[in-house]
Amino acid sequence: MNAPQVVELERSIRFCLRSDGTLDSDAPKDNTHAAWPPMVGLGRYYEMHVLCVGPIDPCTGYFLNIKQIDQAVRDEALLLISAAAQRSEQALGPVLASAFNAVVKQLGPVVQRIRLALTPYFIVGLEQSNMNQLLISHRYEFAAAHRLHADSLSEEENVQVFGKCNNPSGHGHNYKVEVTVVVDVDSPVGAGTLDAIVDRVVIERFDHKHLNIDTAEFAEMNPSVEHIARVCFELLADEVISVGQLVEVKVWETDKTVCAYRGS
């Protein structure tokens, strides 16, 4: 007998709160793709991402009906987040833990992780494997030029390997950097301290620079997206201790190319 096919299924639930944090639970569900409840005036927009893991049903081809995930979040989790917003809650870990448990109550232990996007760039998450720690991810950007060139290769080999990226004058990217730290679940959540550290350690160092020429880190190292992700991680690892433990740095070279580094 063949073993059951196990998949990861992630569902995003978009919702809006009124400016005072209250939830319009009677709003019509005419456009749940954008958000339900919908936006009213200067309200608040959030996204909750629910990751579930389990076997595919050989009859339906489903592992889990996505409508069940939507309902599990909307039945109780949104009310918990709304209540926290009205209290101007700063420690979001306990709120997320309560929301996590509310979703698990309906869907069962297949729920592995939930993440709450407070903005499109600032996300807090909780994983079933460690409910005592909260994952905080924030995204940044810098613009830089670089040239990909290996001194150990001939000119012809460099062109063959790196193509246009071997242009002697270099070329540029708008890099996006996502930094993820883990903190105690009861810690207050805010981006300000992390922002200041990343700005000082990474952005000021690399922004509007030619990485090969203007930075010590890449004077003798090829500034590939792989190396940039690793260097950013190593620069930040000791600096972010005042916020939490660094667990991952992701760097997007383009919308099509991203590299994640999690340390050695």
| Residue 16 near residue 35 (C-beta atoms within 8 A) | yes
Which residues does the annotation mark as catalytic?
165, 208, 253
Indicate the DSSP class of residue 166: G
**pLDDT grade, residue 264 (50/70/90)?**
confident
**pLDDT grade, residue 3 (50/70/90)?**
low
| Residue 30 near residue 97 (C-beta atoms within 8 A) | no
CATH of the domain at 149: 3.30.479.10
- 3 state DSSP class of 226: helix
Q: Per the structure block, which two tokens stand in for 64?
A: 């889990």
Same domain, residue pair 24 and 123 = yes
> Rounded to an integer, what distance in angstroms lies between the CA atom of residue 70 and that of residue 198?
35
Asked whether residue 256 carries a pLDDT value surpassing 80, the answer given is yes
Condensed to tens digits (0 to 9), the pLDDT of residues 139-166 reads 999 999 999 999 899 999 989 999 999 9
Condensed to tens digits (0 to 9), the pLDDT of residues 112-123 reads 999 999 999 999
**Beta strand residue intervals within 36-170, DSSP E:** 44-55, 111-117, 122-127, 130-146
Last residue of a domain, one of 81, 105, 128: 128
Last residue of a domain, one of 128, 152, 169: 128
Asked whether residue 37 carries a pLDDT value surpassing 80, the answer given is yes
Cβ contacts of 50 within 8 Å, gap of 6 or more: 10, 11, 12, 13, 69, 72, 73, 103, 111, 113, 114
Domain that holds residue 244: 135-261
Condensed to tens digits (0 to 9), the pLDDT of residues 153-203 reads 999 998 999 999 998 888 999 999 999 999 999 999 989 999 999 999 999
Same domain, residue pair 171 and 235 = yes
Same domain, residue pair 120 and 166 = no
> Rounded to an integer, what distance in angstroms lies between the CA atom of residue 136 and that of residue 182?
6
**Closest listed residue to residue 148, CA positions, set 35, 226, 73:** 226
Same domain, residue pair 151 and 122 = no
Cβ contacts of 191 within 8 Å, gap of 6 or more: 122, 138
Beta-bridge partner residues of 118 = none
The neighbour count for residue 209, using CB atoms within 10 Å, is 17
Same domain, residue pair 25 and 120 = yes
Last residue of a domain, one of 97, 128, 159: 128
Average pLDDT over residues 68-73: 96
Same domain, residue pair 148 and 249 = yes
Same domain, residue pair 29 and 123 = yes
Same domain, residue pair 117 and 141 = no
The helix or strand, by DSSP H or E, that contains position 97, with its residue range, turns out to be helix 92-107
Q: Per the structure block, which two tokens stand in for 176?
A: 């996006």
| Residue 177 near residue 249 (C-beta atoms within 8 A) | yes
Within a domain: residue 230? yes
Q: Per the structure block, which two tokens stand in for 43?
A: 């309200």
pTM: 0.90
Q: Identity (one letter) of the amino acid at 238?
A: D
Same domain, residue pair 145 and 234 = yes
Within a domain: residue 1? no
Q: What is the pLDDT of residue 57?
A: 87
| Residue 189 near residue 91 (C-beta atoms within 8 A) | yes
Q: Identity (one letter) of the amino acid at 129?
A: S
